[in-house]
């Protein structure tokens, strides 16, 4: 499986590296197509720049950087999630096949849309890949279960210690009572 990962990650990342580099060099060429998606996003997230070309540039930089990181196997899960997040607006802006009137263009855009949805599926699989190690969710559940067992065990130990202490106090009280002069 490690050989498969080493081959699959660069293959999956290649489309993002090449597309991110191309768009980073010339963000204004895709800005008009991105505008219908960019404007609603900037209205909801005021910290983002208003200029669509700048948003396109940021998105392409994320694709380039995360694509490079994924291809070399550095932070692969985080890189895959970043690429997945950047792919959604790219797909909605660039391949809105439902808006096209021309049947040939509509078919081309639909193919590109489905390709991007397939890439999204691959990225989600890459993001979920734990390299054969237990996932964080599994480790959390196991730690919680182990903690509950330890707490129950500690509770029984404390209960036993309290019971032993109470028995010792009763024995000591009985012993002291036996030594007291009757009077």
Task: Give 80's Cβ-side CA count (13 Å radius).
Answer: 23
The fraction of the chain above a pLDDT of 90, given in percent, is 54
69 pLDDT band, cuts 50/70/90, is very high
| Per-residue pLDDT at 1 | 55
Least trusted range by pLDDT, from 9-18, 118-127, 135-144: 135-144
Between these two residues, 171 and 77, which has the higher pLDDT value? 77
Query: Alpha helices of the chain — where are they, by DSSP H?
Result: 2-25, 31-44, 52-72, 76-94, 103-128, 136-179
Q: For the whole prediction, is pTM greater than 0.75?
A: no
**Percentage of the chain exceeding pLDDT 70:** 95
Q: Which long-range contacts (CB under 8 A, 24 or more apart) does 3-10 make?
A: 5/73, 5/76, 5/129, 5/131, 6/73, 8/126, 9/70, 9/71, 9/73, 9/76, 9/126, 10/70, 10/71, 10/72
Q: What's the pLDDT at 182?
A: 66
- Stretch 115-128: mean pLDDT, rounded? 95
Q: Where in the chain are the domains?
A: 2-128
pLDDT at 166 over 90: no
pLDDT one-digit tens code per residue, 80-90:
999 999 999 99
- Average pLDDT (28-39) is 90
């Amino acid at each position: 499986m490690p050989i498969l990962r080493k081959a699959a990650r660069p293959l999956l990342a290649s489309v993002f590296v090449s597309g991110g580099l191309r768009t980073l060099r010339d963000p204004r060429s895709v800005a008009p197509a991105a505008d219908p998606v960019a404007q609603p996003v900037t209205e909801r997230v005021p910290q983002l720049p208003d200029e669509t070309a700048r948003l396109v540039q940021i998105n392409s930089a994320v694709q380039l950087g995360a694509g490079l990181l994924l291809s070399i196997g550095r932070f692969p899960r985080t890189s895959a999630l970043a690429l997945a997040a950047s792919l959604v607006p790219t797909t909605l802006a660039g391949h809105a096949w439902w808006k096209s009137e021309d049947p040939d263009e509509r078919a081309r855009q639909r193919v590109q849309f489905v390709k991007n949805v397939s890439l999204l599926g691959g990225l989600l699989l890459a993001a979920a890949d734990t390299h054969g190690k237990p996932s964080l969710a599994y480790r959390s559940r196991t730690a919680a279960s182990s903690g509950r067992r330890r707490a129950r065990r500690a509770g029984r130990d404390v209960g036993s210690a309290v019971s032993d202490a109470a028995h010792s106090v009763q024995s000591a009280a009985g012993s002291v009572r036996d030594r007291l002069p009757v009077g």
